Chains A and B, each alone.
Chain A
Amino acid sequence: MKVLVGVKRVVDPNVKVRVKADGSGVETANIKMAINPFCEIAVEQAVRMKEAGLVTEIVVVSVGLPQCQETIRTAMAMGADRGILVDTDVDVQPLAVAKVMQAIIAKENPQLVIMGKQAVDNDCNQTGQMLSALLGWPQAAFCSKIEPAGDHAEVTREMDGGLEKLTIKLPAVVTADLRLNEPRYVTLPNIMKAKKKPLEVIKPDALGVDVAPRLITLKVVEPAKRGSGVKLADVAELVSKLKNEAKVI
């Protein structure tokens, strides 16, 4: 079985994010970047399935700047077999990424697509769902367990109220939740090997996909600073404040 995994390059989760001075977005120049943690979990899942003999080939796809090749190399150092970068300097939105993935899937014919449930930069949580709709494939988001079995897969999804167990037909799109697995540390020999694995770079045009943004960001601002608190005399005063000042009840 062939698996396709989507990976996104994001600001390293350990870095404190800063808004650009002109309010056009978040500062990413000269900031440490890393593979999105949920994408890392998705790659780890594919690699474990390959190690278990369930998967024959893992293809990693990223959409974005040329530097995304580093992210793909990281995935290949974890165990993915080859990579595809769809090279664009457009600030791609979930729909554009889903369309790019759809075009690549048409060529690659994977039986399973694993993606992170969301990216820690903008927390959209949309690409996997959009992709499944575009493909007309079943989807299972927020998975904490994925067990392929022949022409279907048993998955466990993390819901607000508990766990949902589903059987989905393959091919399908699944997205990884935090508890699916704990990604491995990349080994040094595998970093060296990853350098020699094939990485194809193509343009969105070559796939016939228009990646132009459909949404416009008006302004990005820091969250408002929290003001200092006040001490209240009793519950009545609290209720009154919540009602009249905060207007939340």
Chain B
Amino acid sequence: MSTYAAPLKDMQFVIEELVGLADITAMPACADVTSDLVEAVLGEAGKFAAEVLDPLNGVGDKQGAQWADGKVTPPAGFGAAYKKFTDAGWNGLSGPTDFGGQGLPHIVAMAVQEMWNSANMAFCLCPMLTSGVIEALKLRGSAAQKQQFMEKLVSGEWSGTMNLTEPQAGSDLSAVRTQAVPEGDHYKIKGTKIFITWGEHDMAQNIVHLVLARTPNAPEGVKGISLFIVPKFILNADGTPGARNDVQCVSIEHKMGIHASPTCVMSYGEDGGATGYMVGEENRGLEYMFIMMNHARLGVGLEGVAIAERAWQHALDYAKTRVQGRAIGQKGGDRVTIINHPDVRRMLLSMKSQVEAMRALAYTASAALDKAKHHPDDNERKRNQAYVDLLIPIVKGWCTEQAIEVASTGVQIHGGMGFIEATGVAQYLRDARITAIYEGTTGIQAADLVGRKIGYEKGATAAVVIAQMRKEASGLKQNSNADVAAQHDALVRSIDALAHATKWVVEHFQQDPNAVAAVSVPYLKLWGIVAGGWLMARAAEIAAAKLAAGAGDAAFCTTKIATARFYVEHILPQAPALAEEITGGAASVLAFDSAAF
């Protein structure tokens, strides 16, 4: 059985060298976030992930959360692990310092969350949802609401949930029907919410539900939805949890993956109405949700990176130990480990190189988010916000879709054993599958990309990013390291493909939105592949410079260059093919007779 080891070297390389921690530390708000602090935090988090969370991952998958009489019991060990997690203060890593959090920047939170997710994604969803509630209250909660709820949410003594989906309102939230009727200083909430992650459990003393609902005279559609706090236990005057609110978990779903995470059907107001408190202004609930969506989507993209990393570690371990067959051309002698077989090596490298490219892209977006928030210069904040807005659907869509592919390749490397549940690698594939669905499916991400992020602004931000890619790519040719210089041509071809496809999207977005929609997912994938290649080539360049200077970890740098070269030669060639599909493939989708399906 493989055990998780946090990829500290790659994480630190990406944070320090590729993203540039110095740029983050240079901002006054993040001045305390020095290299040695980041190293200490990542080191301890890695230990906690490996020793406490990882051993529960398989247990959680096999046992699953259990529902009985409205109560949900998490798998054995989860409650104790949650207590350790909150006692150790991890829940408050990026939480506001006014309420007991450590206020660390997103880039640090990103690496730490990657570890939690690699070790135990189902567990990690609980604190992740809590941080979503913290974010919402921070942005739009009243001073009184913050006073009542923040500290306990930051510490993790209370957990949080997001209640958006209803049976008839999934990707289309305009169809939300849950009602909120004013009564004195609060509202009475009635309705059914589904797919509520960690909606009920006994690990925290209270659960703070954020619920989307309509007030009696609210307009139809998205402009008539408000946001409410509905605590599981209504607070006493002294702030402690008191009477049980009129909200029940009526069942939990049987799912393909993340078995340990209870996905609840929540029923509000079966007994007259659940007490709820409005957050911010009336009818602006969905807008508030979308502000937080950036964080949440980046978080789910990161889940993709994390699961892919775990699948890679497990597959590598197996490939190094499983003895089967002889090497091609070998006559007699000992049988060899399967890592000696070229096709297995190719599979391993496709996993490794994509995990590293995905991590580079996700952390880059995360650093941009920090700069958009904390940079002292107004223009820099704006520029970074536009950058991160463009990257988020790509991180979410691409990293999750590739995680499924990487996890599937991990199963393949195990051969027949991969298909056996006891091996443990099928779980990664099943767990990864949800990441491309929740927080907006890949289709929704692609629609966001071609619409809000490219089409409406006529590709302005995209053009800036593509120009930056070109500038960096052109430097590769002169690199004194032959393995780095060799990456130039393929990278330039892939950037050309991206530019060509982007031009097509911008040109067709207004007059032929259906055509753009028909190829929007391949376009998102193209962005992911090319951005990943661009960052891998940059990583190779940095590694080559360190090697030439005799600085840093020579083995790591050499491996980074070789990994980037594999990516450029095996993954990037998909780019021109995707561009061809995007610019020429819409008609066959749209022209197909609906009756012929």
Residues of A within 8 A of B (CB): 14, 29-30, 32, 69-70, 73-74, 77, 185-192, 194-195
Q: 6 smallest A-B Cβ distances: which pairs?
A: A188-B89, A30-B553, A187-B89, A187-B88, A189-B89, A186-B44
Contacts of B472 in A (CB 8 A): none
Contacts of B87 in A (CB 8 A): 187
13 pairs from A and B in contact (CB 8 Å cutoff): A30-B554, A32-B8, A70-B39, A73-B36, A185-B51, A186-B44, A187-B88, A188-B89, A188-B93, A188-B102, A191-B40, A191-B41, A195-B34
Contacts of B93 in A (CB 8 A): 188
Instruction: Check B90 for interface membership: any CB of A closer than 8 A.
Output: yes
Instruction: Check B346 for interface membership: any CB of A closer than 8 A.
Output: no
Task: List the B residue with the shortest CB-CB distance to A196.
Answer: B32
> A188 contacts B5, CB within 8 Å?
no
A32 to B10 alpha-carbon distance, docked (Å): 13
Contacts of B553 in A (CB 8 A): 29-30
Could you tell me the distance in whole angstroms from the C-beta of B11 to the nearest C-beta in chain A? 13
> B555 contacts which of A30, A32, A77, A188 (Cβ < 8 Å)?
A30
Q: A186-B88, A188-B88 are in contact. Are A73 and B47 (CB under 8 A)?
A: no
Interface centre among B8, B51, B88 (most CB of A within 10 A): B88
A-contacting residues, B1-46, CB 8 Å: 5, 8, 32, 34, 36-37, 39-41, 44
Report B37-75 CB contacts with A as 1/0, cut-off 8 Å. 101110010011001100000000000000000000000
Q: A30-B556, A70-B40, A195-B37 are in contact. Are A185 and B92 (CB under 8 A)?
A: no
> A185 contacts B88, CB within 8 Å?
yes
> A73 contacts B84, CB within 8 Å?
no
Contacts of B48 in A (CB 8 A): 185
Contacts of B37 in A (CB 8 A): 191-192, 195
A104 to B90 alpha-carbon distance, docked (Å): 36
Could you tell me the distance in whole angstroms from the C-beta of B262 to the nearest C-beta in chain A? 26
> A192 contacts B102, CB within 8 Å?
yes
Contacts of A187 in B (CB 8 A): 87-89
Could you tell me the distance in whole angstroms from the C-beta of B464 to the nearest C-beta in chain A? 36
> A189 contacts B102, CB within 8 Å?
yes
Bin chain B's interface residue count.
20 to 34
> A188 contacts which of B39, B41, B554 (Cβ < 8 Å)?
B41
Task: List the B residue with the shortest CB-CB distance to A69.
Answer: B36
> A73 contacts B40, CB within 8 Å?
yes
> B556 contacts A191, CB within 8 Å?
no
A192 to B90 alpha-carbon distance, docked (Å): 12
> B92 contacts A188, CB within 8 Å?
yes
Interface centre among B37, B44, B48, B554 (most CB of A within 10 A): B44
> B40 contacts A77, CB within 8 Å?
yes
Interface centre among A29, A190, A191 (most CB of B within 10 A): A191
Contacts of A185 in B (CB 8 A): 44, 47-48, 51-52, 84, 88
Could you tell me the distance in whole angstroms from the C-beta of A52 to the nearest C-beta in chain B? 19
Could you tell me the distance in whole angstroms from the C-beta of B311 to the nearest C-beta in chain A? 21
> B40 contacts A74, CB within 8 Å?
yes
Contacts of B52 in A (CB 8 A): 185
Contacts of B40 in A (CB 8 A): 70, 73-74, 77, 191, 194-195
Contacts of A30 in B (CB 8 A): 552-556
Contacts of B102 in A (CB 8 A): 188-189, 192
A189 to B52 alpha-carbon distance, docked (Å): 19
Could you tell me the distance in whole angstroms from the C-beta of A176 to the nearest C-beta in chain B? 20
Contacts of B36 in A (CB 8 A): 69-70, 73, 195
Contacts of B88 in A (CB 8 A): 185-188
A160 to B5 alpha-carbon distance, docked (Å): 35
Contacts of B5 in A (CB 8 A): 14
A189 to B5 alpha-carbon distance, docked (Å): 23
Contacts of A69 in B (CB 8 A): 36
Contacts of B84 in A (CB 8 A): 185
Task: List the B residue with the shortest CB-CB distance to A188.
Answer: B89
Could you tell me the distance in whole angstroms from the C-beta of B50 to the nearest C-beta in chain A? 8
Contacts of B552 in A (CB 8 A): 30
Interface centre among B40, B47, B102 (most CB of A within 10 A): B40
> A191 contacts B39, CB within 8 Å?
no
Contacts of A74 in B (CB 8 A): 40
A14 to B92 alpha-carbon distance, docked (Å): 28
Given contacts A30-B552, A32-B8, A73-B40, 18 further A-B contacts (CB under 8 A): A14-B5, A30-B555, A30-B556, A77-B44, A185-B84, A186-B88, A188-B41, A188-B89, A188-B92, A188-B93, A188-B102, A189-B89, A189-B102, A190-B89, A191-B41, A191-B44, A194-B40, A195-B32
